[in-house]
Amino acid sequence: MELHPKFWEFTLRLSVAFVLGAIIGLDRTYRAKDAGFRTHILVSVGSALMMIISQYGFEDFVGYDAVRYDPARIAAQVVSGIGFIGAGTIILQKHIVRGLTTAAGLWATAGIGLAVGSGMYSIGIVTAVLTLLGLELFPFIFKKIGIHTLSIQYSTSLYSNIKSINDEVSCSNGRLISYSAEKFGSDTNPSYRVNIVIRSINSETESHIINYIQQQPEVLLEKVD
C-alpha cells in the first residue's frame, strides 16, 4: 500500500477537524444537549474526509479521454443517501433523542468506505482510528462529562412539592426536558402523580435530585429509569 504524496497533510486536516469537533462537542455535552462530543467529532472528521475524497480521490481519472462518466457523482449520492439510513437510527422517545451518535457513525463510516473504494487506503485507516478514538477514548477521558437522562415518577398530596422539586432540578444544574402531572383522588383530598425527565451532566446531580425528592413530605417515589 503506497502512501499518497499528501498523506501527512491529509492526516493534519483530519486531526484538526477532530480537535475542533471535539471542542464544540464538549461545550454541547457540558450544556447537556442531545448531540455531544462524540457526535460532533464523527461529523467533523467525516466531513473532512469526504472533502479530501472529493478533491483528490478521483485524480486518477483526470485526463483520460476514454472515461465517459464521473465517479465523483457516486460519492455524492452516498453522502446524501446515507443520511436516510442514519435518520432511521434516531429515535425520539419521551422527549429523549437517541441514536444521534450511531447516525453520525454511519455517516463517517460511509466516508471511510468511499476512501477505501477510491484507493485512499491510508487515509481511510487514519479516519477509522480517529473515529474509534472519538467513540472509545474520549468517553473514558471525559467520563465525568456526559449526558445523563433520568426518568422519575412520583406521587404527592401536596401540590407545592411539584414546584419545589422542579425548582431544585434547575438549581442543581439539571435540565427538566419533560414534565406531566395527573390529578387523582377526590376533589377535597386530591393527589398528583408526576412524571419528569431530567438531563444532567453527571451522576452526582441525579443522586442529589433523587435524594431531594425522597426527603420531601408527602412524596412517594414510584419509579426511576
CATH number of 185's domain: 3.30.70.2690
* Coil, helix or strand at residue 141: helix
The model's pLDDT over 47-89, given as tens digits with 9 standing for 90+, comes to 888 888 777 776 666 655 555 555 566 667 766 766 666 666 6
Residue 168: phi and psi, rounded to 5, are: -65, -35
Both 34 and 137 in one domain: the answer is yes
57 lies in some domain = yes
Show which of 88, 111, 141 is a domain's final residue. 141
2 lies in some domain = no
* Number of domains within the chain: 2
129 lies in some domain = yes
Show which of 122, 141, 160 is a domain's final residue. 141
CB 216 within 8 A of CB 164: yes
Task: Decide if pLDDT at 199 tops 80.
Answer: no
The model's pLDDT over 155-168, given as tens digits with 9 standing for 90+, comes to 998 888 888 998 88
The model's pLDDT over 200-214, given as tens digits with 9 standing for 90+, comes to 766 778 888 889 988
* Coil, helix or strand at residue 50: helix
Both 77 and 170 in one domain: the answer is no
Both 123 and 198 in one domain: the answer is no
Q: What is the span of the domain harbouring residue 65?
A: 7-141
Place of cell 444521534: 100
The residue length of the chain stands at 225
